[in-house]
Amino acid sequence: MLPPTFLLRTAPTAVARKSSSLVKAAAVSSSSSSETSFQRPLHHHQDQQSKSFTTINKQTPYNLCFLRHGQSTWNRDNRFIGWTDTPLTDDGVLEARLAGKMLQNSGILFDEVHTSLLRRSIRTVNLVLMEMGQEYIPVYKHYRLNERHYGDLVGKNKKETVKMFGKDQVKRWRRSYDEPPPPMAFHHEYHPAKDPRYRHMTHLIPESESLQCTKARSSVYWDEVIAPALQQGKTVLVVGHENNLRSLIMGLEDISKEDIINLCLPRAVPLAYRLDENLKPLDRPDGKLDEATGFLRGEWLGGDDAVAEILERDRKQVYDTTVEQNLEMDESRKNWSDWMNLIVGEASPEAKAKAERNDEKMVA
C-alpha cells in the first residue's frame, strides 16, 4: 500500500529513525547557514529593489516560488475539478499549513502573492501567510490563474474514467499539450456560468481547455503582471493549480510540447526558483535537474525524494486500476494527519476564524 502525501510512519521508533523529508523541511531551524538554504532578507542595489524589501539568497534579486493548493474535497474523492469551486478538506488545511511552515523556516519573505479565483487556492494563500506571519502583503486574484477547464470530465471519477476510456486517453486529456477533454455543455451541472464570480465574463468561459489553451490564458498574466513584478526585484509567490502551474513552468523551463505530458506537480510543496535578469532559472546548487520530475531547476523545499513519493502515489490513485481503495482516504492517510497535527500544532481559534472570514471575503 502506497503511503499518502507526507506520510510519517505509524511507529514512533520508525519516525525517529527516518522521518519524512517534508517534515524535516517544516521543522528545520530558520537560522540555518547552509549554502543551499534560503536566507533571510538581504538588501540589493536600490534600482533593483526600489519597491521590495526581501530576497531569498545572495546570488540574484529575482526570486519566485510556486505552490499548488492543499487537498480539496474533489482531490480527496478523485474527481476532475477544473473551475468548480471545491473547498479544502481538513487534511488540505493541514497541507497548506505545513507548506507555510516550510516557507517560514526556509527564510523566504514575499512581497506579493498571485492566485486564482478559486477558494481552494485562496484559502491555501491565507493559511500559508498566517504561518509565515505575512498576512499584510498584497494578494492578487485573477481568473487567468484558474485551473484548466476539464470540460465534460468535470465531476467524473478519474479512475472510473480510466476504466472507461483507457489510461493513454485519460493521460492525454490530463497532461498532453494540445488535446482538450470533450467540451462541457451549457446545461452541465457544474458549468461555471452558474457561479456569480463569473457573471461579468460569461463570454470568456471556455467549454474545455488543453494545456495549450491554459498556457495562452496564464501567459498573459505572466507577461503583464508577474514578470514586471519580478523585474522590479520583488519576491513573488504564485499559488495555483496543477495545470495552470504546469503551463507557467513549461514556459519558464522551456519544456517541449512532447515532454510536458510527463510533468506532474504535487500538492502543497513549495517550488523555489532563483532567476537571472532575463527571468530564466539559475541552476540548482548541485547543478542538476530535480530528481522528482527530471525537468526542473527549481528546488522542492520538501525534498526531491518526498515529492517523488507523492507523485507515485498520485499516479496509482488515477491510473492503477488494480488499486481499489482510495489512497486519499485510507488508514495510512489518517496516520499522516495525526502526525502532522503533532508537527504543525493546532491552529488557534482566532487563526481559524480569520482564515474563514478571509475566504468568504475573497470569494465574494
**Residues of each annotated binding site for substrate:** 68-75, 120, 147-150, 158, 174-175
What does the alpha-carbon distance between residue 56 and residue 66 come to, in Å, rounded to a whole number?
A: 14
Nearest to 188 by CA among 74, 52, 291, 84: 84
What does the alpha-carbon distance between residue 94 and residue 347 come to, in Å, rounded to a whole number?
A: 9
Residue in this structure with the C-alpha cell 495552470, named with its chain if needed: 244
Residue 124 · residue 102 · CB < 8 Å: no
Catalytic residue among 69, 114, 191, 241: 69
Buried b / exposed e over 72-85, threshold 16 CB at 10 Å, is: bebbbbbbbbbbbb
The CA-based diameter of the chain, rounded to the nearest angstrom, is 59
Active-site annotation holds for 147 = yes
What does the alpha-carbon distance between residue 102 and residue 108 come to, in Å, rounded to a whole number?
A: 9
Nearest to 30 by CA among 112, 108, 110: 108
What does the alpha-carbon distance between residue 210 and residue 198 come to, in Å, rounded to a whole number?
A: 20
Residue 86 · residue 6 · CB < 8 Å: no
Which residues are part of a known binding site? 68-75, 120, 147-150, 158, 174-175
Catalytic residue among 95, 147, 299, 309: 147
List alpha helices for the chain, DSSP H.
12-17, 21-27, 73-76, 90-106, 119-132, 158-165, 167-175, 211-221, 227-231, 242-253, 304-319, 331-344, 349-363
What does the alpha-carbon distance between residue 241 and residue 87 come to, in Å, rounded to a whole number?
A: 13
Instruction: Identify any residues that bridge with 209 across adjacent strands, giving them in sequence order.
Output: none
Residues recognised as catalytic:
69, 147
